[in-house]
């Protein structure tokens, strides 16, 4: 587990892959949307470094968790 502290999400750019994933998960009964992803980034249970990316994890129930892969950017 990492000691990285969560931050307030200022702006998130969702990729085409992420938007397609929302639709796919919905077909299986998992309603994950942009607000859910932002909450995971802001308040994860765990954050790991994966090269240039961060991986935030937050359980949604006893069996499943939301995993968000993201990168920080200083571009305004």
12-49 residue pLDDT tens: 899 999 999 999 999 999 999 999 999 999 999 999 99
Give the whole-number percent of the chain exceeding pLDDT 70.
Answer: 86
CA 22 to chain CA mean position, Å: 12
- Containing structural domain, residue 73: 33-76
Kindly report the pTM of this predicted structure.
Answer: 0.79
Closest by CA position to 66, among listed 43, 16, 13: 43
Q: Is residue 57 assigned to a domain? A: yes
Q: Is residue 19 assigned to a domain? A: no
Q: Give the number of domains in the chain.
A: 1
Q: Is residue 39 assigned to a domain? A: yes
Q: Is residue 53 assigned to a domain? A: yes
Residue 46: predicted pLDDT: 95
Position 10 pLDDT exceeds 80: no
Q: Is residue 47 assigned to a domain? A: yes
Q: Is residue 20 assigned to a domain? A: no
- Say if CB 30 and CB 64 are below 8 A apart: yes
């Amino acid at each position: 587990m990492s000691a990285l502290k969560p931050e307030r999400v200022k702006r998130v750019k969702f990729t085409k892959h992420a938007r397609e994933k929302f639709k796919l998960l919905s077909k299986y009964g998992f309603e994950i949307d942009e607000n859910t992803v932002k909450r995971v980034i802001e308040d994860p249970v765990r954050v790991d470094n994966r090269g240039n990316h961060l991986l935030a994890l937050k359980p949604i129930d006893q069996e499943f968790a939301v995993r968000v892969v993201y990168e920080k950017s200083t571009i305004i």
